[in-house]
Amino acid sequence: MSYFTDLAQQYIDGEWRAGGGSWDIIDVNPYNEEKLASITVATVGEVDQAYRAAERAQRAWAETNPYTRRGVFERALRLIEEREAELAEAIVAELGGTRTKAGFELHLAKEFMREAMGLTLRAEGKILPSPIDGKENRVFRTPVGVVGVISPFNFPFLLSVKSVAPALALGNGVVLKPHQNTPVLGGSLVAKIFEDAGLPPGLLNVVITDIAEIGDALLEHPVPSVISFTGSDRVGRHVAQVCATHFKRAVLELGGNSALIVLDDADLDYAVDAAVFSRFVHQGQVCMAANRVLVDRSVAEAFTEKYVAKVRTLKSGDPADPATHIGPLISSAQAEAVTAVVDQTVAAGATALVHGRTEGNVVSPSVLTDLPEGAPALTQEIFGPVALIIPFDGDDEAVRIANDTPYGLSGAVHTGDVERGVRLAHRVRTGMIHINDGTVHDEPIVPFGGEKHSGVGRLNGEATVDAFTTYKWISIQRGRSGFPF
């Protein structure tokens, strides 16, 4: 099948159909700007239909034997494995991912589908003691009901699966809205996998639309109890405000400005490899990317020389070419924004050790140093292939610089003394930090999420169970209670 021809539709209540809006989202290959698909947007009415379908289907699904539910995820995993080559081609075409990036995304998607299989059996209950004689307290984990999922463009298949699969595994219904730049990989392809795996109709619905058409209907609708959003902190702030107003739980996985810290006793060659990958994987369009490389001044010259030399070996261009390291950014607007950050930072006094060029949506790497104090690039998230090298004097200054940002998602520390690295890591205000490794990691059973503007809540493993279930207390009084009146 042709994914971009056959799946350019809405998926509501088990049916593939055109949206009812008056305009189309045009899905474009970001490298050559060829049109992949045209999808008529879903309306507010269709968002309502999707949520109502999920609400109806969820009741029976929650009562389905969890071993039966598990079978759906086993089949979904097999389908991803069987279609892996086709999915990789779609990643290259729709989001400009390189071959390496496609393999990385699909590997993690399979791991999260395996974890979802186990989650079908993880909503365990408890019997708790009571201070009242004859009373038994039973505490149950129950599905929240319906979950709204809003996924981003950078890892659309993975990050849709990461919320959709566990929400379904735990007995919920789901309405998924993918990013308008990746409507097939982030939306309709996920629905197709689950449809072919035998998921009952109505449980998973995909609405491909835009805020210009539906406003906040996806957030304000009375049916969903939880909204799982992955994207920018600017939009995340709005999602949080709307959810709070409507008494909904919001799980927010937002942006980052991670620091990879190289101490004076680090293995410099290894630190260079980790830092280059952590900054330039998927063109730097990764929330965990090492925007800032902090290097002890005593080794800064040697590290920088090695770092720049490795960056100069990275090939930019066609993501379909297996030799390409840096493909296109997702859109011309993103390419222009990243180019402007580099130009403005250099104009303000920074030194460009490598000054990238922009050709179409392909922005080749830049490496900047000697940034003036207070430069906006130091504290913001740069969603593109731009690295900042920042010398520091001693561990205390490294911690101060690492924490000098509104974000707190990931990070890394490179050192020959692991426990020194752990002590420093504890002082960096971030949700995740890795000793002698890169900053870009995600594992299915380890809590994933950030501090400050990088998000609210966690996903993965037990954190996912917390996100997509709620507690119900049922007590039993054996014998008669005494009442004061």
In this predicted model, what pLDDT tens digit does every residue of 234-260 receive, in sequence order?
Answer: 999 999 999 999 999 999 999 999 999
Reported pTM? 0.96
Q: Which among 55, 94, 111, 253 is annotated as catalytic? A: 253
Q: Which two tokens stand for residue 52?
A: 């109502």
Average pLDDT over residues 75-86: 98
CA distance 436 to 463: 25
Question: Three-state SS for 24?
Answer: strand
Catalytic: 195? no
Fold of 3-254+454-473: Aldehyde Dehydrogenase; Chain A, domain 1 (3.40.605)
**What are the distances in angstroms from CA 83 to CA 40, 41, 99, 106, 114?**
27, 27, 15, 10, 16
Question: Three-state SS for 248?
Answer: coil
CA distance 77 to 114: 7
CA 320 to chain centre: 23
CB atoms closer than 10 angstroms to residue 229 = 27
pLDDT at 143: 98
Q: Provide Rg for the chain, Cα atoms.
A: 24
> What are φ and ψ of residue 208, in 5° steps?
-100, 110
Report which secondary-structure segment, H or E, holds 103. Answer: helix 99-119
Q: Which residue has the tokens 């994933």?
A: 448
CA distance 459 to 446: 8
Instruction: Give the pLDDT band (50/70/90) at residue 123.
Output: confident
Summarize the chain as % helix, strand, coil (round to 5): 40, 20, 35
Q: Which among 287, 301, 336, 359 is annotated as catalytic? A: 287
Question: What's the DSSP call for residue 99?
Answer: H
Catalytic: 124? no
Q: Which two tokens stand for residue 215?
A: 């406003």
Fold of 259-435: Aldehyde Dehydrogenase; Chain A, domain 2 (3.40.309)
CB atoms closer than 10 angstroms to residue 248 = 20
Q: Which two tokens stand for residue 43?
A: 């309306």
Torsional sign, CA 194, 200, 201, 204: negative
pLDDT at 482: 86
Instruction: Give the pLDDT band (50/70/90) at residue 1.
Output: low
pLDDT in tens, 279-329: 999 999 999 999 999 999 999 999 999 999 999 999 999 999 999 999 999
Average pLDDT over residues 69-74: 98
CA distance 243 to 174: 17
If you write DSSP's letter for every residue of 258-277 in order, what string do you get? -EEEE-TTS-HHHHHHHHHH
Q: Give percent of the chain above pLDDT 90.
A: 98
CA distance 202 to 188: 14
Question: What's the DSSP call for residue 200?
Answer: P
Domain range annotation of the chain:
3-254+454-473, 259-435
- State the average pLDDT for the chain: 97
CA distance 75 to 87: 16
Average pLDDT over residues 371-395: 96
pLDDT at 417: 98
CA distance 112 to 159: 10
Provide the β-strand partners of residue 174: 147, 204
Find, among 272, 242, 282, the residue nearest to 436 by Cα.
272
pLDDT in tens, 216-226: 999 999 999 99
Q: pLDDT at residue 232 above 80?
A: yes
Q: Which two tokens stand for residue 484?
A: 């004061």
pLDDT in tens, 164-219: 999 999 999 999 999 999 999 999 999 999 999 999 999 999 999 999 999 999 99
Q: Which two tokens stand for residue 66?
A: 């969890």
Residues 106, 449 contacting (CB under 8 angstroms): no
> What are φ and ψ of residue 46, in 5° steps?
-75, -30
Question: Identity (one letter) of the amino acid at 471?
Answer: Y
